A = this chain, B = another copy of it.
């Protein structure tokens, strides 16, 4: 289990919220995606936009996303989002996201992603590849 954790704070915007005055569910998945990129940037020391070219991959493709909504987040709330890799497998990994409002866990999210490369026989297709050991090592 990787211990490297990326934390950021963000303030909930008017445009994030729905008529109930709370963050609309899809926004949390935007927050998670952005934090996963920042987690990699932070752990690997490579800018998010250079991740694919530096590692000769297509990207870190999302195959599963999930969120459990425990408490609402409202307009103006300062939230903290803590993200880390909870498991590395051969060519895939899970990211765990914990979003807190005023110190209380509000949303638990998880993503499963694959280390995606171009298929050698059909460059229009995507295949998965083993995640390099040195990449995994940088997440501690």
State whether A15 touches B24 (Cβ < 8 A): yes
Partner of A25, one of B17, B37, B65, B75: B65
Number of interface residues, chain A, beta carbon within 8 A: 34
State whether B59 touches A20 (Cβ < 8 A): yes
Q: How far apart sit A119 and B29, CA to CA, in the bound complex (Å)?
A: 29
User: Oligomeric state, in number of copies?
Assistant: 4
Q: How far apart sit A35 and B79, CA to CA, in the bound complex (Å)?
A: 18
Please name 7 further chain A to chain B contacts, defined as beta carbons within 8 Å, in addition to the given A15-B33, A17-B18, A25-B33, sorted by A numbering.
A13-B33, A15-B24, A17-B19, A25-B65, A26-B30, A49-B75, A64-B67
A contact residues vs B (CB 8 Å cutoff):
13-15, 17-21, 24-27, 29-30, 33-34, 37, 47-50, 58-59, 62-69, 74-76
